[in-house]
Amino acid sequence: MFGRSDTLARRTYVLTPALRRDDRSAVPILDHSASAILRNTRNLMARQRRLNPTTNPPDPDLDHLLPPDFCLEYRVMPWGRVGDATLIGAIPGRDRAHLRDVLERAIGPVLFADVAEDDLLRLLTDRHADYFAELAEYRVPDEYSCRDINKLTLSRGLAASLFFGISLALIYIFPNVFFAGITVVAVINLVATLVFKVVMLIAGYKGPPDRPIELPLAEKPVVSLIVPLFREAAIANELVIRLSRLTYPKSLLDVVLVLEEDDRQTRQMIDAVSLPGWMRVVRVPDGELKTKPRALNYALGHTRGEIIGVLDAEDAPATDQIERVVEAFHQAPSNVACVQGILDFYNTRSNWLSRCFTIEYAVWFRVVLAGAARLGIPIPLGGTTVYLRRSALNHVGGWDAHNVTEDADLGIRLYRFRYRTILIPTVTREEANNRIIPWIRQRSRWLKGYIITYLVHMRRPHRLLRDLGIRRWIGFQMFFLATILQFTLAPALWSFWLVCFGFSTPFFDLLSPDLAKGLLALFLLAELVSLLTGFVAVARTQHQDLMQWVPMMFFYFPMGVFAVYKAWSELVFKPFYWDKTTHGRSDPDVPGGDIHETIKT
């Protein structure tokens, strides 16, 4: 019943339809006579068995009977032979009626015996570590993954040669034409960005959120939080304290701390902390690829929640955040697969860079993304405070392990699969990157990921248009293409400010006085709209003292130009390189980063 396939250049198993979650309704109902008596007898026998892996380890010769990812998802493992039946180790407390039907049609008669979940997960990981590590890298189908973006094909080589050849020819033979061309593109992009920002500002305006509905305990689902840790020894202890403040019932909370196998310092720090029962550690095997999405994919199989959340190591989530997320999913339509919270910072007063970072995030989450969510435009997700329905996450293939902005890519892929994302007013505070060089390195990774995500989804523009529809397709262009061009072509627009100091440019000399005045008026209008958006965004936070810092954004965003050219160079030489941001370098403005806040929207 189980075959092997080498598609996607990896080992994968072809499951029978009966083993897929979405085909459960197709399983026939057996009669309730002899089969019912047999099941009752088997269940009674299972309750009398408790497998001990130390004294009675599973038979390795039976590993081939079931796919490892199936065993991980359903928490089962072939253990041994009892006559003609296969003894299956399974964690207690789960309904085994449907599972028995599926297994017996696949491998014949089965008997169940209880095994502790920790023991079962450890055994599966030990037996199939290479498979799970490989699966974590190749979950996303080729069509939606960027893993081949560094491969030089004939068509890519010809396109690149043609582009650079024409560009060099224009620069050498017709430099004025080249400069005029990129300036026109930059101006058009500026106008489009200006219109988009105004639309988001208008669409994002709304009154205070409705009071959430408190669900009874019996209706609350299990929520799993995945927290990737890599070289985070400095803040590991504080992380445990912050997560312990969450008020969601701990019996329904499943926190998985994900550590890289070779990260000894963080592992030692975590080992020194007494973790509560609802918090556990998963170690990701070493591999050439070492990215956050790879760690997320690997840890996904170890979670057990219906809702999967992602938090970063430096995060301080609102204490009632999980309740707000669960209530949002409960009230939302079934096609809402993702709930995105708001990100803010707890070290806003460190220096001017942290203040500007806070203003930028206020604009992004409280204006731009709020407007996009109301208009139904695909949202590039944030890397943290993201909560997803497990079924939808599995349906779209999880995270692309090779994409350095896996969050933005996942946000677009969800919409391509007809899912939606909503924003809710729950805040997670984290540490603002407040040093210039690390800021540029972090921003270059984000921009590189935006470039990669754009190239992946625009491989077949017509199919993307069909998947999203014209309005969402335009929104996708504004979020990605306009952002990339805005930073890449910014120097062409900066040159026009030289006119104010008595200098001139070749393109400016070609303009009539009226057009020149109109262009300068456009620049001033764009800056005024940026100021207005900044003031509105800050007014929706509790950082009222940052109002006076909004004009400093004129000196903040030019750093992004250095970041985007670093991103373009890395796209060529090391597209999958994850430029790690070091945390724990800035103390919070309030003790422990406490985040009791009344959200203004």
The answer for residues whose C-beta is within 8 angstroms of residue 468's C-beta and 6 or more apart is 378, 415, 416, 476
**334 near 412, Cβ under 8 Å?**
no
**Residue 506 confidence class, pLDDT cut points 50, 70, 90:** low
Sign of CA dihedral 166, 172, 173, 179: positive
Mean pLDDT of the chain: 85
Read off φ and ψ for residue 515, nearest 5 degrees: -65, -40
User: What tokens appear for 70 in the block?
Assistant: 């199936």
- Closest listed residue to residue 394, CA positions, set 423, 378, 420, 417: 417
Q: Is the pLDDT of residue 4 over 70?
A: no
Flag the least confident range among 80-94, 196-210, 228-242, 406-420.
196-210
**Residue 10 confidence class, pLDDT cut points 50, 70, 90:** very low
| DSSP letters for 349-402 | TS-HHHHHHHHHHHHIIIIIHHHHHHHT------SSSEEEEHHHHHHHTS--TT
- Helices within 458-550 (DSSP H only): 461-468, 470-479, 481-488, 490-494, 506-509, 513-539
Question: 3-128 falls under which CATH superfamily?
Answer: Type II secretion system, protein E, N-terminal domain (3.30.300.160)
Q: Average of pLDDT values for 470-486?
A: 96
d(CA 228, CA 259): 6
All CATH 3.90.550.10 domain ranges of the chain, comma separated, are 139-601
Query: What pTM, to 2 d.p., does this model score?
Result: 0.86
Q: Average of pLDDT values for 14-34?
A: 39
All CATH 3.30.300.160 domain ranges of the chain, comma separated, are 3-128
Question: 139-601 falls under which CATH superfamily?
Answer: Spore Coat Polysaccharide Biosynthesis Protein SpsA; Chain A (3.90.550.10)
Q: Is the pLDDT of residue 538 over 80?
A: yes
Name the percent of the chain lying above pLDDT 70: 84
Amino acid at 285: P
| DSSP letters for 234-297 | TTHHHHHHHHHT--S-GGGEEEEEEEETT-HHHHHHHHTS---TTEEEEEEPP-S---HHHHHH
pLDDT at 236: 74
pLDDT at 19: 43
**209 near 425, Cβ under 8 Å?**
yes
pLDDT at 274: 81
d(CA 90, CA 96): 9
d(CA 543, CA 537): 10
- Closest listed residue to residue 163, CA positions, set 568, 491, 575, 492: 568
Per-residue model confidence as pLDDT tens digits over 275-306 = 888 999 999 998 888 899 999 999 999 999 99
Per-residue model confidence as pLDDT tens digits over 243-271 = 999 999 999 999 999 999 888 888 888 88
Q: Is the pLDDT of residue 552 over 50?
A: yes
Q: Is the pLDDT of residue 20 over 50?
A: no
**97 near 39, Cβ under 8 Å?**
yes
Q: Is the pLDDT of residue 93 over 70?
A: yes
pLDDT at 512: 75
pLDDT at 588: 74
Sign of CA dihedral 268, 273, 276, 279: negative
